[in-house]
Structure 1
Amino acid sequence: MIYTARKGQMNYGEAIGILLLDFVAPFIPGDVGNASTYNYPVRYKLVKGLTFDRLFNKDKSALDILIQTAKELEKEGVRAITADCGFFALFQKEVAEAVDIPVFLSSLLQAPFISNIIGEKNKVGIISAKSDSLDKTFFDNVNMDMSKAIVVGLEDTEHFAPFGIEETGTFDSKLVEGEVVAAAKEMVKQNSDIKAILLECSMLPPYGKAVQEATGLPVFDFITMIDYVFTAVVKKRYHGFL
Structure 2
Amino acid sequence: MTNNYQNNCHSFAGYTIGILAPNLDYEKTVGNVANANTFDFPVLYEIVDIDLELLFKGDASLNETIVSAAKKLEEAGVRAIIGACGFFAHFQDVLKNNVNIPVFTSSLLQVPLIESSLASDQKIAVFAANGENIKKALSATGNHNVDRYVLVDVTQLDEFSPIRYGVKTLDNHALEVALADLAKKTVEADPSIGAVLLECSDLPPYAKAVQEKTGLSVFDFNTLINFVHQAVDQRHY
Into which bin does the TM-score normalised by the smaller protein fall? Answer: over 0.9
2:180–2:209 Cα contact (<8 Å) kept: yes
- For residue 74 of structure 2, give the secondary structure of its aligned residue in structure 1: helix
Residue 153 (structure 1) shift: 1.2
Q: Distance in 2 between matches of 1:57 and 1:97?
A: 20
- Which residue is 1:193 aligned to? 192
1:24–1:169 Cα contact (<8 Å) kept: no
- Which residue is 1:56 aligned to? 56
Map 1:163-182 onto structure 2 (within 5 A): 163-168=162-167, 170-182=169-181
Q: Is 1:17 equivalent to 2:18 in the alignment?
A: yes
Residue 81 (structure 1) shift: 0.1
CA 1:169/1:12 → structure 2, altered by over 3 Å: closer, same or farther? Answer: farther
Residue 57 (structure 1) shift: 2.7
Q: Distance in 1 between matches of 2:127 and 2:231?
A: 27
Q: Distance in 2 between matches of 1:41 and 1:59?
A: 31
CA 1:220/1:4 → structure 2, altered by over 3 Å: closer, same or farther? Answer: closer
- Which residue is 1:119 aligned to? 119
1:157–1:179 Cα contact (<8 Å) kept: yes
CA RMSD between the two structures = 1.5
Q: Write out per-residue CA displacement over residues 4-58 of structure 1, whole angstroms, 9 at most, x where no aligned residue.
A: 652xx1110001000011222211100000000000010000012x122111233
- Which residue is 2:78 aligned to? 78
- Which residue is 1:213 aligned to? 212
Q: Which moved more, 1:17-26 or 1:198-207?
A: 17-26
Amino acid of the residue matched to residue 89 of structure 2? A
5+ long unaligned stretches in structure 1 = none
CA 1:213/1:95 → structure 2, altered by over 3 Å: closer, same or farther? Answer: same
Q: Distance in 2 between matches of 1:5 and 1:112?
A: 34
TM-score, scaled to structure 1: 0.92
Q: Distance in 1 between matches of 2:148 and 2:67?
A: 31
Question: After the TM superposition, which parts of structure 1 deviate over 2 Å for at least 4 consecutive aligned residues?
Answer: 2-6
Residue 112 (structure 1) shift: 1.3
- For residue 202 of structure 2, give the secondary structure of its aligned residue in structure 1: coil
Q: Which moved more, 1:146-155 or 1:75-84?
A: 146-155
Amino acid of the residue matched to residue 198 of structure 1? L
- Which residue is 1:35 aligned to? 36
- For residue 98 of structure 1, give the secondary structure of its aligned residue in structure 2: coil
How many residue pairs end up in the alignment? Answer: 232
1:21–1:52 Cα contact (<8 Å) kept: yes
CA 1:150/1:5 → structure 2, altered by over 3 Å: closer, same or farther? Answer: closer
Map 1:218-229 onto structure 2 (within 5 A): 218-229=217-228
Q: Distance in 1 between matches of 2:65 and 2:224?
A: 24
1:23–1:51 Cα contact (<8 Å) kept: no
Q: Write out per-residue CA displacement over residues 133-172 of structure 1, whole angstroms, 9 at most, x where no aligned residue.
A: 312x211211112221111111121111x21211236211
5+ long unaligned stretches in structure 2 = none
1:124–1:194 Cα contact (<8 Å) kept: yes
- Which residue is 2:203 aligned to? 204
Q: Distance in 2 between matches of 1:10 and 1:224?
A: 29
Q: Is 1:138 equivalent to 2:137 in the alignment?
A: yes
Q: Distance in 2 between matches of 1:63 and 1:181?
A: 35
TM-score, scaled to structure 2: 0.94
1:52–1:165 Cα contact (<8 Å) kept: no
Residue 132 (structure 1) shift: 2.7
1:124–1:197 Cα contact (<8 Å) kept: yes
Q: Is 1:109 equivalent to 2:114 in the alignment?
A: no
Q: Distance in 2 between matches of 1:123 and 1:114?
A: 9
